[in-house]
Structure 1
């Protein structure tokens, strides 16, 4: 077999010599889960992205895919030896109203599947016709249909469909349908029996184990999670015994295992699992193996050290069928291991980790994503453990921050490294090349602990004719403006009290709390004014609020003045242009949320990276982190504001042109961006230089970082409830909140 070791995966350094230096536990762990990835040659398939599934039968590999044609589509099946020899292509032509699903093959090379034939006629609005017929079909080795068996039977289900189909070890075919019915057919398509499964709760997908037995993924309302139960297809019964996997059951895809009952695939690799075990066993780690993908599809295990699967390369988007083979740990090159912790991993960071690990001769990064500790019962368990680990001194070399982490507390404890000295010593990087206000926003006492390579402006937008041209206003300004508006005018569209409270703290909370000094001002007149403002919003809207008329007029609410303000996540020139020329249809101002200090907008990081001040490998950490400040990365940013002013210049030139795409002939085709109002398409014209200068002038003035503290929100929500219920006045609850928050701040600074 001519095996293709793709270039993206060639960074795994397999050596027969041991590198110098001792091996830490992290270094050992990073070697235990390394697999070599080789692309399987599929020379008869031109477009690998058309592959939908594959399976092994004996020594033959069967790959299934779909091609769209001018008048319909075709299903293809490529059968070949594992070494790529003796390929046989079978094509099955389908009309536009046909689809062939759940294809599988028996040991003799005959194919079975479910044919869906549908007819739709919407020409008469009062007599809409949708006819959907399903058939079990058998095809010979050349794809010729041998027989078909209607599947609906006497089902009265208007929306009948097939949930799954399995070819059992004894040759029978089992089909589960939308009527919660399992029907068994013999190899000639004759129905043997049908069993009703309606009494079984939460029937989901079926997993066929290596021994042929079926497991059902079922939802348990008692445990509020998904579990696995054995299925007796003849009796139509699920086992009383139920198996619950550790962590989030929804994070895995399930495949039959060899050496284990099941193989589990998640975003980080492949694990083995035996029913009843408390933990899964990690087998292959994508990052440790330098594989730039986040999932394996249609996994087929040959053993726990060898399996096949299709992947999508994160950088190229290409689909490839791969063979994965375990690498002996002693053959993996020794490197110093940098630890990176996160609570969910940014895709750009992930891609760069793979590239860094492949090219850096001295260091490699190992990830601990704490979302792995989340469970169906507690989705916050991961971030809680991350906080606990950091508080106990287990600080990773690199930490990806998010809004669930007490950043101010970490900084005050000296856990992070100042990045300015590294930037200043780097010949390629200069502070002046970046948004100065963003650097300032993330400074603490003149030191830069957080790297924010790109960001979004979180703000409140209004018509310039209403709010004026200058950003920033107070609650008194907003109340005065609302007093001039017709009765029924809304401040925000469909916002409830809790949401507006969140906005007020996220955008203007700095007027009430200063984490650097520990000062709190929740008993101030400004906070009392905020409480009085919040009282006008309902705790919830019932369904009667969202009428057909509401949705019909939604796109014009801001244009015609029914709604005054729009909470906006402005992530670039396009979103500003769309808001101005689409949503409002006239000049707008990024006014911000009302605040006593006039600062009601915030910089929301799209990525926020820090270096541990305790790291023993700071040089290696900086080698990784600096990439996100270089032109190589900044020039890839299309969505979100890049930190680089040079990249901003390029994006501003792009904003002055119509949007375009390249057609199949390589020709650039321009088109208008549009906004629909009352069924009419309104063109969104490209920006002018004056408009670009206007929005950049505002963006450069925003110097407050986004902050979200759920504990703080909880305190305010709990203590304001009596005020909104009319049981206490605003001054009383403000004093209580001041006391509680002051204690909270003192304990967490």
Structure 2
């Protein structure tokens, strides 16, 4: 096998000592077996394309705002849906040429919306449920550039607009401005607040400042917001807050939808996405419909906003399947999506995710998700499939017999041909000649530089300062935003210091002294306290920095680096080492099979799905292992961005990346530029690895050298002693 850099030892440590451990660790929780829903599309009564923009819920109806495309013209349209979602009809809103930017409704079916007139004035309008406009008034904002973040209706009284700095009030009958809310000041400019209505019609403002949350309730008699003593700090409101009928509010994450009432100390679990085989990346709106149904405007498998309905299900078909578990320390989005697809298509097996990163399922704070996974593996209770991160050592697990060799599965599978995949990536999954994992997608972790600054010579730890000074660059910022604290990747690519196979290390070498001296010259984290990051984005173009650290996962990103950051031809230097530069492969989705898996054929069916064209051809920010798909991406990068229309013809599109505040238009790359990146991908031989224990030892002890409290030799001697002890104890 090709050298894996600095593999973590924590997994093998757990494997070796777990049987004698008396440490109690609570079992990692699975998804709820209840709370299962079916999902279906909700289609608007229109023959052309449309995009759903927002939803609001009235007493007897749900209102849907969509942009409908008619002859290349986008028209704002409002639809009215019954609460059982059986009847949806267009509301003929007579709004002249105003576009709808924000809208809400009251319990009598009146619509209130914000828009702009022909002169660019912000207008607040009220419409009957027939579409007739009752009144339309201008909105005057105190500060230029202010925006209206949200609005709600105080039934039969007034409308409240959240205008960043304050709240404006408008009479519900006439539209007359009634001043602003008094005796309330938002706590912080950095706070994220939202106006929301409870199920009982009370208007609340929830202020979200990090982990600190406050709730204010509007008193229309006194014209003030009054702070309420409610427990919100344990609720994650970062993804949004949605008004309900059964509950005051709904919240969600990628795992589930929950509900809570003001005053609740815990969330109530409503819909378990994973148990229901539903993949949701982001939810824009949630509305409660009749019979326990939930209407969602969400981004799911199609990567486009769609209108969907969740219907309660007994889950009979799901429960009938045999369960295969997959363990992961954190759940990559691509894994969630693939699990949902597999579970829908496969009639025999169901994949269930076990997320070891959930700290609520770990009693001892110091036991990480990776360690808990290793403990379960050692006790024979590990998941059937394992997602190996940078800290989970493939070699150690395979050498202890914990992983299933995959060679026979590749050979027997008629859908898979080994020659179709990049051999260098396959080699990274081998131990003693056998394949133990799959790396379906990856990024190239490297450092790049302007060719006119470094030429064909590699920037190393030895000549780094010289190269900076030759180009008039301060060596302290020659690595860009890299600090002493963030220099772990530099150590990770320097495999010359640790020999895990033999359990030895060599930190008293001249090479390590050079490494310490290099890192000492980097800025501390505090040095960047007052930095203007947008200006810093121009440092490479202005030749104020030399090497830029990158995790490259697409040709578009590569083009943005060339055009946006450098504005000139670049070279792949790699992370500087004592005698060259090193690039390496990284992936958050290296997948292996537990040797004790009870359903190995089913596990393989799921694992191989990552190698098929359906997955490989739909990657966005990572490169594919498929040779053909990589070649297709390379060929496409030679052309201007395009889409295929309904007639199968190429249609050029505008595509942009943003570098700081500067928009970079993506065009075509040259053949030389494309070949250069493909060469780096195909010649990469190193897979990233990270050892927290050794990195922590180096960081702790090296600080004394950086602060000139000890010499490099003294620090190296201590590091050598501590790492040697660590290696001997964990062999």
Aligned to 1:567, the other structure's residue is in SS state strand
Whole-angstrom CA distance in 1 between matches of 2:281 and 2:663? 41
2:208 corresponds to 1:219: yes
Judge which range, 720-729 or 583-592, deviates more.
Answer: 583-592
Going from structure 1 to structure 2, the CA distance change for 1:720 and 1:304 (only over 3 Å counts) comes to farther
Whole-angstrom CA distance in 1 between matches of 2:297 and 2:171? 30
State the 1:290 CA deviation. 3.3
Gap regions ≥5 residues in structure 2: 1-26
Which of 670, 677, 690 is equivalent to 1:687? Answer: 670
2:497 corresponds to 1:531: no
Aligned to 1:728, the other structure's residue is in SS state coil
- Tell me if the contact between 2:204 and 2:216 (Cα under 8 Å) persists in the aligned partners: yes
- Tell me if the contact between 2:356 and 2:373 (Cα under 8 Å) persists in the aligned partners: no
Whole-angstrom CA distance in 2 between matches of 1:616 and 1:675? 46
- Tell me if the contact between 1:182 and 1:196 (Cα under 8 Å) persists in the aligned partners: no
- Tell me if the contact between 2:67 and 2:77 (Cα under 8 Å) persists in the aligned partners: yes
Whole-angstrom CA distance in 2 between matches of 1:414 and 1:336? 25
Judge which range, 283-292 or 542-551, deviates more.
Answer: 542-551
2:628 corresponds to 1:646: yes
- Tell me if the contact between 1:715 and 1:741 (Cα under 8 Å) persists in the aligned partners: yes
Equivalenced residue count is 693
Which of 184, 194, 212 is equivalent to 1:205? Answer: 194
- Match of 1:505? 491
After superposition, what is the alpha-carbon deviation per residue over 1:311-344, rounded to whole angstroms, capped at 9, x for unaligned?
A: 3342263622x33221124565501112223344
After superposition, what is the alpha-carbon deviation per residue over 1:228-273, rounded to whole angstroms, capped at 9, x for unaligned?
A: 4554444424344122264634245333241x44332222332233
Whole-angstrom CA distance in 1 between matches of 2:434 and 2:47? 55
Judge which range, 610-619 or 233-242, deviates more.
Answer: 233-242
Whole-angstrom CA distance in 2 between matches of 1:676 and 1:285? 36
- Tell me if the contact between 1:341 and 1:367 (Cα under 8 Å) persists in the aligned partners: yes
- Tell me if the contact between 1:213 and 1:231 (Cα under 8 Å) persists in the aligned partners: yes
Whole-angstrom CA distance in 1 between matches of 2:192 and 2:638? 54
After superposition, what is the alpha-carbon deviation per residue over 1:115-159, rounded to whole angstroms, capped at 9, x for unaligned?
A: 455967xxxxxxxxxxx6554x3223333332245554xx75445
Whole-angstrom CA distance in 1 between matches of 2:143 and 2:516? 52
- Match of 2:38? 36
Counterparts of 1:465-504 in structure 2 under 5 Å?
469=456, 474-478=460-464, 481=467, 488=474, 492=478, 494-498=480-484, 501-504=487-490
State the 1:358 CA deviation. 1.5
2:323 corresponds to 1:340: no
Judge which range, 534-543 or 722-731, deviates more.
Answer: 534-543
After superposition, what is the alpha-carbon deviation per residue over 1:402-447, rounded to whole angstroms, capped at 9, x for unaligned?
A: 3465666655655433333322332332433322222222333334
Judge which range, 517-526 or 68-77, deviates more.
Answer: 68-77
- Match of 2:14? none
2:687 corresponds to 1:705: yes
After superposition, what is the alpha-carbon deviation per residue over 1:595-645, rounded to whole angstroms, capped at 9, x for unaligned?
A: 247562211125322222332222211110011123443344465332122
- Match of 2:20? none
State the 1:476 CA deviation. 2.9
- Match of 2:368? 384
Whole-angstrom CA distance in 2 between matches of 1:330 and 1:673? 45
- Tell me if the contact between 1:27 and 1:334 (Cα under 8 Å) persists in the aligned partners: no
- Tell me if the contact between 1:273 and 1:281 (Cα under 8 Å) persists in the aligned partners: yes
State the 1:37 CA deviation. 2.7
State the 1:721 CA deviation. 2.0
Whole-angstrom CA distance in 1 between matches of 2:265 and 2:402? 34
Counterparts of 1:117-266 in structure 2 under 5 Å?
133=122, 135=124, 137-149=125-137, 152=140, 156-169=142-155, 172-181=158-167, 183=169, 185-189=171-175, 195-199=181-185, 201=187, 204-219=193-208, 224-228=211-215, 230-235=217-222, 236-244=224-232, 246=234, 248-251=236-239, 253-258=241-246, 260-266=247-253
Whole-angstrom CA distance in 2 between matches of 1:682 and 1:138? 41
Judge which range, 325-334 or 401-410, deviates more.
Answer: 401-410
Aligned to 2:437, the other structure's residue is in SS state coil
Which of 612, 616, 624 is equivalent to 1:634? Answer: 616
Please, what TM-score do these two structures have when normalized by structure 1?
0.79
- Tell me if the contact between 1:500 and 1:534 (Cα under 8 Å) persists in the aligned partners: no
Whole-angstrom CA distance in 2 between matches of 1:318 and 1:550? 34
Aligned to 1:250, the other structure's residue is in SS state coil
- Tell me if the contact between 2:406 and 2:435 (Cα under 8 Å) persists in the aligned partners: yes
Aligned to 2:231, the other structure's residue is in SS state coil
Aligned to 2:350, the other structure's residue is in SS state strand
2:255 corresponds to 1:268: yes
Whole-angstrom CA distance in 2 between matches of 1:486 and 1:217? 51
Counterparts of 1:554-703 in structure 2 under 5 Å?
554=539, 556-557=541-542, 563-572=545-554, 588-596=570-578, 598=580, 600-605=582-587, 607-637=589-619, 639-661=621-643, 668-669=650-651, 686-688=669-671, 695-703=677-685
Whole-angstrom CA distance in 2 between matches of 1:588 and 1:659? 22
- Tell me if the contact between 2:485 and 2:699 (Cα under 8 Å) persists in the aligned partners: no
Judge which range, 520-529 or 383-392, deviates more.
Answer: 383-392
2:269 corresponds to 1:282: yes
- Match of 2:3? none
Whole-angstrom CA distance in 1 between matches of 2:399 and 2:689? 16
Going from structure 1 to structure 2, the CA distance change for 1:275 and 1:47 (only over 3 Å counts) comes to same
- Match of 1:298? 285
Aligned to 2:670, the other structure's residue is in SS state coil
Whole-angstrom CA distance in 1 between matches of 2:616 and 2:72? 44
State the 1:528 CA deviation. 0.7
State the 1:527 CA deviation. 1.1
- Match of 2:445? 458
Counterparts of 1:4-43 in structure 2 under 5 Å?
31-43=33-45
CA RMSD, Structure 1 to Structure 2 (Å):
4.4
Aligned to 2:93, the other structure's residue is in SS state strand
State the 1:504 CA deviation. 0.8
State the 1:565 CA deviation. 2.8
Whole-angstrom CA distance in 1 between matches of 2:135 and 2:360? 48
Going from structure 1 to structure 2, the CA distance change for 1:370 and 1:105 (only over 3 Å counts) comes to farther
Aligned to 1:531, the other structure's residue is in SS state helix
